[in-house]
Structure 1
Amino acid sequence: MLKRLQRPAWTCPRCALHQSRAATRCLVTASNAAVRQDEYQPAWKREPSIAHDDRTLRHIFDSPAIWKDFNARAKYRHGSKSAGLFRNRYLTQPDGFQDFVAVTLVKCRRIVDKVLAYQSTDDLRKVARDLDRLSDLLCRVIDLSDFVRSVHPNRQVQAAASQAYSAMFEYMNVLNTTTGLNDQLKRAAATPEIFDSWSEEEQTVAAILIKDFSKSAIDLQETDRQAFVDISNEIAEVGNAFVDNMAAATPVLSLQSSRMKGMDLRLVRQLTRWGSVSLPTVGMPAVMALRSVEDAEARREIYIASRTSAESNLQRLERLLKRRAEIAKLSGYESYAHMTLTDKMAQSPEAVTSFLDALAKDNAPRVQTELRELLELKKSDARHSNFPADLNAWDKDYYTAQLMSSMRTKQRSPDFLSAYFSLGTVMQGLSRLFHRLYSIRLVPCETAPGETWNSDVRRLDVIDDHEGHIAVIYCDLFERQGKSPNPAHFTLRCSRRISEEEMQEAAELSSQTGGLFDTAQEAANDGLATNFSARNGHELYQLPTIALICDFALAPASSARPTLLTFREVTTLFHEMGHALHSICGRTALQNVSGTRCATDFAELPSVLMESFASAPEVLALYARHWETDAPLDPNRVRERLEVEKRMQGAEIEGQVLLGMLDQVYHSSAPLAWSENSSGVDSTAVYHDVWRRYSSIPEPAGTSWQGFFGHLYGYGGTYYSYLFDRAIAGKIWRDVFQRLPGGAVDPGAGERYREEVLRHGGGRDGWRCVGGVLGAEGEGLRDGGRGAMEEVGRWGVHN
């Protein structure tokens, strides 16, 4: 498949867990405080220009007035004429999307005609790079258009972007069924003289594209290929319907208000009519009830209702799973999991199960300790009919909330830390950390007219001390009406080397576009950023262009207080910046393996690892300072907070193991044998069997929570990935960045991680990357396989 979709914008299990908790915005009052020049000057900063950029970075996020003044310079530099979205010269107005598509299609068709005509060995050597460029041209339109249509406030621009997306997606589907392209690629890869002459990246890209062509059923007979297309379309239709229609069998539960004792009275009053509480069984009210209602029988009713799915959606899920099993069988695979895992680090469902089994075994003592503590709390509860000898499923959240509450009362208020985490200081801290570890920093750049979709979007150029400009990040971090609340990282354009042949083509295009581009170098990348790579023979590269989306609250316009983040929001920002770091440092010559375009079960490693940096004392010293007094934060306050938040980590890990196991069974060949009615083996029977085998607390009969498991569609067969990457990230954190005191800011550790993991993107097998960064201890992991998966499981999740 020529278009390899970027890592989708998704809410990972960690984010989903955090979003289910009631988060309170920090409200710190201030009188006459103002953003002032930062007095903190670490010894590692020598050049005045670096110090200036460092201060400016903080100010443009903490002071709207300074940001407005800073960005006003663009009028003097660029004039009032629109530079186009992301400085893409075609996108100065909505109609420009049509021009962008038209020019791109001309380039694509030239490449297709050329590849189909190849005969000689010398020509066939170019196939991997040519098809990678073809994929890049598709991605240039599809990725950018998909992002614009979801974030841009102008409906005309949204519509134009959607049309561009559809047109290019339709052309992509034509290419995916063009057998000649597949034949030429296989012919080249099967010729030892050609394959051996390819770089590691070219060999990897060829293997990826051959597998993607195969997954598009291009090798099947015409009848089977049509069946494949029909089933694929049905999977997309049913899968989207499944996600869009998640609902409970009983949407609202009616309970006497007297049974809701313990729950927030204001909320109970809002839900009460004539002495009866109408409690929605899905959403925050039900979650809060399970945490606070004293009546155990009421909690049982709420728990069961909140975990029993509507029958119609269970039918959609079972239809989805059956069709996936059918399409795998049609493609020659034992199961859908076998099909989807062939190009992942795990490689097989058996290896995934080995990992999850080993992880569950490592985690079991922690879970049992936590449950004993909850059971002791329950035994001390004097209420009647409480069955104190057993901890039921509907007891867990209630007594966990009591335990956490007792721990928090011994600390300062939850908002205490926020005063030390203004958005500007956190961004400043990220830049300082990156400079320490990787010799790169974030430099504010004024945005040209028309370059961004909202005036609050800040542009940062990523500058390498040795290579100069290496990436562009657009930071859309503030809340606004209609914006998605989910944090996300988008790669709008990947790293890729621009050839001399492309430059000649660009020069021709530049002369034909009537001054749209000033130079061939601009035309070669549609006006987006390029630079010559000192690392790679001073070849011209298109630079990674990234968008970071968050939903942080804007400070009141009447206040001098900047936007202050909770520590959870700080961790979220570090997480998303970890994805950006992968895109920034994974500057490969081919776009199919650039940055985050890697195996699904490797993609979360950099982001999960970045979370550990957020709380390291030596990293906190780089940025955590009070927004009014500039006093540094005592790192012990963060350590105390983390101890509370990780108090029930064993139970959280067990929950993710359960979902990972369920995902694997659902995507085995088992759905082919499911009966068409609920009286036989079905998704609910499988769900209860998995809980019976792996859960520490029995699940009550009658529940069918799988109808709410939306990730089954987007991440079918790969849900284990987040736990897998957490285990690897914890090992790298301990063995590389905590091996020596102050290791979290050790340049040697940073260089090792950048060279062994980040710089390869998806161009090197993930096991080789992990083995390389761990050194001698990781030597046995380099070949991967079931044993390596089991070893990672034994490491456990301890970060």
Structure 2
Amino acid sequence: MTDAASNPLLAPSSLPFGLPDYPGIRAEHYLPAFEAAFAQHRAEIDAITAQSEAPTFANTLERLEAAGDLLGRVARTFYTVSSAHATPEIQEIDAALAPLMSAHDDAVQLDAALYARVRAVYEQLDSLDLGAEERYLVERRYREMTSAGAALDDGAKSVLTEINQRLSVLSNTFEKNLLADTNDLAVVFDDANELDGLTDGELSAAAQNAADRGLPGKYVVTLTLFTGHPYLSTLTSRESRRRLLDASRSRASRGNAHDNREVLTEIVRLRAERAELLGFDSHAAYITADQTAGSPEAVHALLRRLAAPAAANARREQEALQAIVDAEDAPFTIEAHDWAFYTEKVRAARYDLDRTALRPWFEAERVLVDGVFRAASALYGITFAERTDLQAYHPDARVFEVSEEDGSALGLFILDLYTRDTKRGGAWMNSIVSQSELRGTAPIVVNNLNVPKPAPGAPTLLTLDEVTTLFHEFGHALHGLFAHVTYPHFAGTAVFRDFVEFPSQVNEMWIFWPEVLAEYARHVETGEPLPAEVVEKLRESEAFNQGFATSEYLAAAWLDQTWHSVDADTASTTLDVAHIEATALTDIGLDNPVVPPRYSSTYFAHVFSGGYSAGYYSYIWSEVLDADTVEWFAENGGLTRANGERFRRRLLGVGGSMDPLEAYRDFRGREARIEPLLERRGLAS
């Protein structure tokens, strides 16, 4: 299966936009395709370094950008599946592939001859007649190869390669363990009375989950990636809430075959050793050096500035919750599994608002078409048409063709809404094909969520948090669709990690925008719009519970920084996960047991199996820009084509082809101010 006739991965797809022929791809096609792609890419790199001509932009940088086309196609096709539909067979391939991919990446990034040519072009940069994107490409390629270790001697490179390969295996193991333990810990309830407070649709989903697991007549509640769970806000049984949160918090730390504690501490040790090898004090220093933050100290300063007022707000919120409990017939001391439930009681008392009763107004199809898509059309002029003739990697994944205002094709958008045992937790965006003028490709982007799937025939009713997630992830999708660059290195969301969340956070602003909300927030049965007085209460309560929300996020961000700020000597000692977590949270003043971190270490996939190591701070860092941008839209008329065009052309459209803060200044006309963020999160005072 190493020729195009027998392996569909080895030839460009004939489908629209290069969509992979997923129905024709079998699991056994992947590894042979990767092997062929590795060899082809290696030959392309060797052809660059074998040239006798002096290095130029055209014969080195441009050829480097053209290289690896086959590998990119195969990798994006596979990793889309391995994250969203990881059958046991796909998991085995993923595990086998991890060290191979790491070794190949190092072979290219650490290639001495290639680095010498890139450096030669970089050193003559000021004398070259290059455009802005070309110049930035030289700067980025040189910096990235240097940061990866290309300037090290052969002995150090050998050690570095071994570390990288081991880390790739460990990250894969971490994710595999987490997926398995998350599935194992799905909570089984014998009686519907134990789930009192859930809607008919939620009960239907739990019954269907049980039936799918061979437990007819029972109810199974699957776990979310983060610590909490949406059902904690409505379950009337305190014992049911406790069971659900206990299961969530115990993931991958139970001393069984899926325990991640030794895995993550080895990851921490190896990352610290790699940082030292590359000349940095810590992994956090290594990561932030090439981000907009610049240093761990800048990150720590922001997190500490926000932590004290957030913790104080959370304590005030806790007192309000305890007052509600104390007034009940059988008072008790509130615990973490009670917070969401009593928060809704306080919200109801303070704002006369029950958010859990809003789900009939958030039917998924209407939110998507009349909310998410409509806002994008109003801002950017784009339109969406479902392509039922095109099949993605799973029957639940829907394909939409996206067109420009003049009818010309832009790309494809794929939405995979529902949770399943083969899908990793959380929500994310990825690209199957990235736009590039050099390669003549148009984008195909995917949004994945984990919404419980109701029984056949029942509508999918979203929580307000799930509505937010849908708008958020679509902001990433817009970034991937709109970025228009020459070189694939800058395509789509290929920007600094602590900038990548900015466009997605901005897209959340349209959730409550009057023209958008009036179209999508309509009752699933009657079609009546969400009452105006409810909308007003939602706006009034936007800052409500921000003490909790900010604290749980900051606690997780601080855990990430704590793990990745240790030096190699400290990392080489025995690291006790529970002790380090407790010490870290005490250090920043977020050690309130009623407000646990959004992620604890053993299920912190963002940083131990994803791309956010030492970078989980990115969400709040980007939110400074986001809040400032929302203020700009409000000042300039909101949902208009002119505003959308400015945002698209000056920010989304540049992809990674220029410094992101420079792009922001071009859009905003100045640096971002932090005050809008402080106001939004109730931290201004």
Q: Which bin holds the TM-score, normalised by the shorter protein?
A: 0.7 to 0.9
Deviates more, 1:347-356 or 1:394-403: 394-403
1:444 is aligned to 2:386: yes
Q: Which amino acid aligns with 2:287?
A: T
CA distance in 2, matches of 1:244, 1:566: 28
Which is worse superposed, 614-623 or 690-699? 690-699
- Measured in 1, the distance between the counterparts of 2:87 and 2:247 equals 43
Counterpart Cα distance in 2 of 1:632 and 1:130: 55
User: For 1:76-95, what per-residue CA distance to the aligned partner results, in whole angstroms no more than 9, with x for missing partners?
Assistant: xxxxx995995457984548
Residue of structure 1 aligned with 2:588, choices 673, 683, 694: 694
Alpha-carbon separation, structure 1, partners of 2:91 and 2:563: 37
- Report if the CA contact (8 A) 2:482-2:653 is conserved: yes
In the TM superposition, what are the counterparts of 1:155-554 in structure 2 within 5 Å? 171-193=104-126, 196-242=128-174, 313-360=260-307, 363=310, 366-377=313-324, 380=327, 395=335, 397-398=337-338, 401-408=341-348, 410-411=352-353, 414-419=356-361, 421-424=363-366, 426-448=368-390, 451-466=391-406, 468-478=408-418, 482-483=422-423, 486-498=426-438, 541-552=440-451
The structure number with the bigger radius of gyration is: 1
Q: Which amino acid in 2 is paired with 1:432?
A: R
Deviations for 1:286-331, whole angstroms, at most 9, x for unmatched residues?
9969997889xx99x9799969955875444333322221111111
Shift of 1:695: 2.7
Deviation at 1:796, TM superposition (A): 6.2
Instruction: Give, in whole Å, the separation in 2 of the partners of 1:117 and 1:657.
Output: 50
CA contact (8 A) 2:384 2:400 kept: yes
Q: Distance in 1 between matches of 2:276 and 2:669?
A: 40
Matched to 1:191, the amino acid is Q
Pairs aligned (count): 624
| Percentage of matched positions with identical amino acids | 22
Alpha carbon RMSD of aligned pairs, Å?
A: 4.8
Matched ranges for 1:615-630 at <5 A: 615-630=512-527
Counterpart code for 1:175: V
2:362–2:522 contact (8 Å) kept in structure 1: yes
Aligned equivalents of 1:98 and 1:236: distance in 2?
17
Alpha-carbon distance change, 91 to 592 in structure 1, aligned in 2, over 3 angstroms? farther
Question: Residue deviations 1:193-246, cap 9 Å, x none?
Answer: 56x433332333333333433344332222222222222333334444455557
Structure 2 residue 541 is matched with structure 1 residue 594: no
- 1:765 aligned to 2:659? yes
The DSSP-based 3-state class of the residue aligned with 2:158 is helix
1:750 corresponds to which residue?
A: 644
For residues 530 and 422 of structure 2, what CA distance do their matches in structure 1 show? 35
CA distance in 2, matches of 1:202, 1:225: 29
1 CA distance for matches of 2:462 and 2:238? 33
Whole-angstrom distance in 2 between the partners of 1:192 and 1:796: 44
Alignment of 1:566-585 (within 5 A): 566-585=463-482
Contact 1:84 1:92 in 2 (8 A): no
| Maintained 8 Å contact 2:479/2:492 | yes
Q: 1:738 Cα deviation (Å)?
A: 1.7
Give the partner amino acid of 2:660: G
Distance verdict in 2 for CA 1:330–1:429, change over 3 Å: same
Q: Please give the alpha-carbon distance, in whole angstroms, between the structure 1 residues aligned to 2:511 and 2:662.
A: 27
User: For residues 15-61 of structure 1, what are the alpha-carbon distances to aligned partners after superposition, in whole Å with 9 as ceiling and x for unaligned?
Assistant: xxxxxxxxxxxxxxxxxxxxxxxxxxxxxxxxxxxxxxxxxxxxxxx
Answer yes or no: is the 8 Å Cα contact 1:425–1:625 preserved in 2.
Answer: no
Taking a change above 3 Å as real, the CA distance of residues 285 and 548 of structure 1, as seen in their structure-2 partners, is: closer
Give per-residue Cα distances to partners, 1:444-474, cap 9 Å, x unaligned: 33525xx433455432221112582121112
Contact 2:99-2:169 at 8 Å conserved across structures: no
Q: Which amino acid aligns with 2:387?
A: C
TM-score (norm 2): 0.76
Is the partner of 2:499 in helix, strand or coil?
A: helix
TM-score by length of 1: 0.66
1:414 is paired with a residue whose SS is helix
| SS class of match (1:174) | helix
Aligned with 1:491: secondary structure?
A: strand
Unaligned residue ranges in structure 2 (runs of 5+): 1-12, 186-193, 204-209, 211-221
Identify the structure with bigger relative contact order (alpha carbons < 8 Å, sequence gap 6+). 1
Moved more, 461-470 or 177-186: 461-470
Alignment of 1:609 onto 2:506 = yes
Contact 1:473 / 1:547 at 8 angstroms: preserved in 2? yes
Write out aligned runs for 1:97-136 (5 A). 108=41, 111-120=44-53, 123-136=56-69
Q: 1:334 and 1:676, CA in 2 relative to 1: closer, same or farther beyond 3 A?
A: closer
| Residues 646 and 490 of structure 1, relative CA distance in 2, 3 Å threshold | same
1:34 is matched with: none
Q: Which runs of 5+ in 1 are unaligned?
A: 1-80, 253-261, 271-279, 387-391, 500-540, 782-787
